[in-house]
């Protein structure tokens, strides 16, 4: 009876995890989205006033986690991935994922504790991988849209618009994600932040070298003057060339990256699979008579996998 209850609980937790991730990524875009208290030293708008009230547990976890650097890092990761979750809610999702994987593995392997621990650790990392994938995909799309954004701003400035009006046009005319980010910039300026601070917040949300170049040009022009349209037009040509070259490099190095990921993941999946399929064979690494050789062998293998993956990643990482 207890086993059945745990199996049902694990399945429900896993389903809730999947449903929560899908809903968070497909949620309707809110017009007012503010995370100023996570990205500025002085909070001008309370997040609680623009987001639905979370559960007391999530509120407590959020308030405690954001006091530390790792909690602020999680907040930035969620903002960069554009996932509408508080830090506390994200932590609950991670814990539910680990618990769900652990219960399922525990029930399928005949109540083996070590299997549950391994599956639970894997479950803890699944949401992080998912958020990281969304973040990288969103940042790539932002970089690819940056050239179109500059062309629109140049046309608006030449038509007599002010820089703020040009930013509003970007927020209205261009697709997501660049329109979402510049809409936040406009909203921050409307509630009293200076353009320089709003653009600095944008840089914190979007760590892009091309965007940093654009923001630097705008800030310098505001201080010393000059034809902003001509400056942005020149930068636009440079950024378009960089995006084209990055795309070509990405195509040429795709084989190396895929090979590195496959070769790094294959030993891990084989080890986990062998443990579940032939536990007696894998237990030789942990038996009292052989663990002094088996455990160091596993550690050395893991270290070599990490080093090999980083070397292949470094080879394919070509700066433009």
CATH code at position 221: 1.20.81.30
| Same domain as 152, residue 236 | yes
| Total tally of structural domains belonging to the chain | 2
User: Is the pLDDT score of 276 beyond 80?
Assistant: no
Domain boundary residue among 226, 244, 262?
244
| Same domain as 312, residue 220 | no
Domain boundary residue among 244, 276, 291?
244
Q: How far apart are CA 54 and CA 62, in angstroms?
A: 10
pLDDT at 35: 46
| Same domain as 220, residue 156 | yes
| Same domain as 159, residue 233 | yes
Question: Considering the entire predicted model, what is its pTM?
Answer: 0.68
User: Is the pLDDT score of 46 beyond 50?
Assistant: no
Q: Is residue 116 part of a domain?
A: no
Long-range contacts of 52-60 (CB under 8 A, 24+ apart): 54/86, 54/88, 54/89, 57/88, 57/92, 58/86, 58/88, 58/89, 58/92, 59/86, 59/88, 60/88
Domain boundary residue among 220, 244, 268?
244
User: Is the pLDDT score of 268 beyond 70?
Assistant: yes
Q: How confident is the model at residue 22 (pLDDT cuts 50, 70, 90)?
A: low
| Same domain as 320, residue 288 | yes
Q: How confident is the model at residue 16 (pLDDT cuts 50, 70, 90)?
A: low
Q: Is residue 57 part of a domain?
A: no
Tokens 């554009």 belong to which residue? 82
| Same domain as 265, residue 222 | no
Q: Is residue 125 part of a domain?
A: no
Contacts of 52 (CB under 8 A, 6+ apart): none
| Same domain as 274, residue 293 | yes
Mean residue pLDDT across the chain: 78
Q: Is residue 261 part of a domain?
A: yes
156 vs 58, 152, 160, 229, CA distance in Å?
Answer: 44, 6, 7, 9
130 vs 81, 125, 275, CA distance in Å?
Answer: 9, 9, 25
| Same domain as 274, residue 239 | no
Q: Which has more confidence, 29 or 146?
A: 146
Most confidently predicted of 13-27, 112-126, 161-175, 222-236: 161-175
| Same domain as 264, residue 238 | no
| Same domain as 169, residue 261 | no
pLDDT at 14: 63
Q: Is residue 17 part of a domain?
A: no
Residue 269 structural domain:
253-320
Q: Is residue 74 part of a domain?
A: no
| Same domain as 291, residue 309 | yes
Q: Is residue 55 part of a domain?
A: no
| Same domain as 301, residue 213 | no
Q: Is residue 227 part of a domain?
A: yes
pLDDT at 19: 55
């Amino acid at each position: 009876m207890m086993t059945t209850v745990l199996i049902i609980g694990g399945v429900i937790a896993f389903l809730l995890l999947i449903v929560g991730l899908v809903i968070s990524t497909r949620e309707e875009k809110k017009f007012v989205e503010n995370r100023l208290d996570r990205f500025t030293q002085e909070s001008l708008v309370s997040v609680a006033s623009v987001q639905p009230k979370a559960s007391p547990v999530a509120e407590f976890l959020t308030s405690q986690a954001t006091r530390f650097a790792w909690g602020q890092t999680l907040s930035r990761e969620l903002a960069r991935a554009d996932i509408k979750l508080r830090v506390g809610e994200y932590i609950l999702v991670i814990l539910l994922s680990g618990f769900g994987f652990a219960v399922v593995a525990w029930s399928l392997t005949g109540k083996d504790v070590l299997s549950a621990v391994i599956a639970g650790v894997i479950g803890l990392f699944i949401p992080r991988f998912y958020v990281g994938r969304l973040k990288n995909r969103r940042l790539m799309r932002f970089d690819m849209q940056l050239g179109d954004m500059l062309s629109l701003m140049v046309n608006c400035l030449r038509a007599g618009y002010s820089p703020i009006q040009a930013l509003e046009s970007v927020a209205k005319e261009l697709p997501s994600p660049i329109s979402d980010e510049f809409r936040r910039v406009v909203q921050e300026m409307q509630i009293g932040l200076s353009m320089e601070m709003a653009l600095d917040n944008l840089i914190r949300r979007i760590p892009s070298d091309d965007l940093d170049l654009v923001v630097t040009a705008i800030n310098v022009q505001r201080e010393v003057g000059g034809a902003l349209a001509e400056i942005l037009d020149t930068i636009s040509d440079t950024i378009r060339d960089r995006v084209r070259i990055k795309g070509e490099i990405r195509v040429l190095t795709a084989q190396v990256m895929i090979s590195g990921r496959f070769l790094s993941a294959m030993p891990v999946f084989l080890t986990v699979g062998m443990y579940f399929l032939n536990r007696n064979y894998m237990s030789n690494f942990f038996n009292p008579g052989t663990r002094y050789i088996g455990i160091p062998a596993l550690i050395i293998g893991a270290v070599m996998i990490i080093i090999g993956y980083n070397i292949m990643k470094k080879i394919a990482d070509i700066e433009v």
